[in-house]
Amino acid sequence: MSESVRTTRVPVVERVLEVNDQLAATTRADLERRGILAVDIIGAPGSGKTALLEATLRALKGRRHPAVLVGDLATRRDGDRLARWCDQVVQISTGQGCHLDAGQIRDALMQVDLSEVDLLLIENVGNLICPVGFDLGQAAKVGVFAVTDGDDKAAKHPYLVQAADVLLLNKIDLLPYVSFDGPLFQADVRLLNPTVPILEVSSTTGAGLDAWLDWLDRKSADGGASTPIA
Amino acid sequence: MSESVRTTRVPVVERVLEVNDQLAATTRADLERRGILAVDIIGAPGSGKTALLEATLRALKGRRHPAVLVGDLATRRDGDRLARWCDQVVQISTGQGCHLDAGQIRDALMQVDLSEVDLLLIENVGNLICPVGFDLGQAAKVGVFAVTDGDDKAAKHPYLVQAADVLLLNKIDLLPYVSFDGPLFQADVRLLNPTVPILEVSSTTGAGLDAWLDWLDRKSADGGASTPIA
């Protein structure tokens, strides 16, 4: 089957990406002009993206002015959780869509008062694969892995590791209870991306959160230099 | 953007699915004729699918004659792990593909001696979304959730819960260390699928594995009644 199917598919996917990339470029220009750092947070379902954002928003109170866009197939549970810590949260329901796209981000931003914002945190749909290839207009991509998901996840998801501007290794408070070979994980990452920072964090205990907040501050100070998908 | 993009995309996706479904139907007929039960195991990255299969293969030694097809974007680590417990294991590398398809299954089955097999275990790519809509020719779909991934994952992935013939709630040995509201998870599942069995398991301790093996035996005895995607 495969050949004929791929021949019909590829041009369409490219056309979609072209439209997507144009919209993302417009968003990127808008956000840069306003001095807003936008980060696209990508991780598996259950890697702890929402808990990480809760801890991040709590720590940023009075220090930054964040807005959050959060994508899920269904439910507004993440949006409700995050709204306790941030006035400007938009839940994006993707239905059967396995990733956010630049059009959804632009639509969602219509509901945000950007004049009040200096940091845009985008929590993508829980998926290590599909979100990687879609530019949303972010300044940086953040990859989230959890120690509970096993030490092989970087090697198995090379495109995310290569595309990421920073990797968070989450749930390190659970290291005593799971089998996770830290040096193997680090070595797998280094083969794919020799320079990406790897920050070990726990949203539960707060361990490592300062390094993550510092990274956000430094990235903002850099003017959020854009990293569109090649 | 969205309207014009969706208009161009949908017909192509339907054509792909049509080809896929024809191939899946052929595979299903082949497997049923041979009396082979095929199950498609779907779960998030890190939900413990491979560890569950290792424990399953270990327990089935001398009792069943399994073959395993395992999908990943990259690496053959899962295949290598499973090959210690089963003579017939085929690793399918999907590259950037976020799910297995019926053509890949047919190609992989060319490398299996089906005359020696009565159970085909297919470990799909780690992803709770994309694999759900693709018929592989299986007799049953198995959804795997892990308590470490949070109690909200059933509600957030309604299509998998609706399509599943059985759900495994994995890593229950880690319940003391994580926040997981079991009754909430069960209630979310029941709203979406009133009858699907929910089996609590731990590949680490072996808890609940007997119920899972019994389910496989009963399903085989039923003649593996097919459940193609509607």
Per-residue pLDDT of chain A (230 residues; tens, 9 = 90+): 343 344 445 556 677 789 999 999 999 999 999 999 999 999 999 999 999 999 999 999 999 999 999 999 999 999 999 999 999 999 999 999 999 999 999 999 999 999 999 999 999 999 999 999 999 999 999 999 999 999 999 999 999 999 999 999 999 999 999 999 999 999 999 999 999 999 999 999 999 999 999 999 999 998 754 555 44
Q: According to the model, what pLDDT value does residue B230 have? A: 40
- pLDDT for residue B8: 44
Does residue A144 lie in a domain region?
yes
Distance CA B131, CA B71 (A): 11
Residue B119 is assigned to a structural domain of this protein: yes
pLDDT at res. B12: 64
CB contacts of A80 in chain B (<8 Å) are none
Handedness of CA A123, A127, A132, A136 (dihedral sign): negative
Residue A102 lies in a domain: yes
Q: How far is CA A4 from CA A1, B21, B101, B103, B228, in A?
A: 6, 15, 14, 12, 23
CATH of residue B68's domain is 3.40.50.300
How would residue B17 be classed by pLDDT, with cut points 50, 70 and 90? confident
Domain membership of residue B227 (yes or no) is no
Contact (Cβ atoms closer than 8 angstroms) between residue A143 and residue A193: no
pLDDT of residue B117: 97
At A160, the amino acid letter reads: L
A136 touches chain B (CB under 8 A): no
What per-residue confidence (pLDDT) applies to B226? 52
Cβ-defined contact of A1 to B23 (cutoff 8 Å): yes
Q: For the whole model, what pTM was predicted?
A: 0.91
Q: Is B100 on the interface with A (CB under 8 A)?
A: no
Looking at every residue in chain B, the average pLDDT score rounds to: 92
Cβ atoms within 10 Å, residue A164: 27
- Domain assignment of residue A97, yes or no: yes
Total domains present in chain B: 1
Q: Is B29 inside a domain boundary? A: yes
Structural domain for B153, as ranges:
2-221
B residues 140-169 lying closer than 8 A (beta carbon) to A: 146, 148-150, 152-153, 155-159
pLDDT given at position A51: 98
A130–B contact, CB cutoff 8 A: yes
- Residue B10 is predicted with a pLDDT of 53
**Is residue A230 one of the residues assigned to a domain?**
no
For residue A3, what pLDDT is reported?
Answer: 38
The answer to the question of residue B230 being in a domain is no
The predicted pLDDT at position B143 comes to 98
Q: Is A197 on the interface with B (CB under 8 A)?
A: no
Q: Is some CB atom of chain A closer than 8 A to the CB atom of B229?
A: no
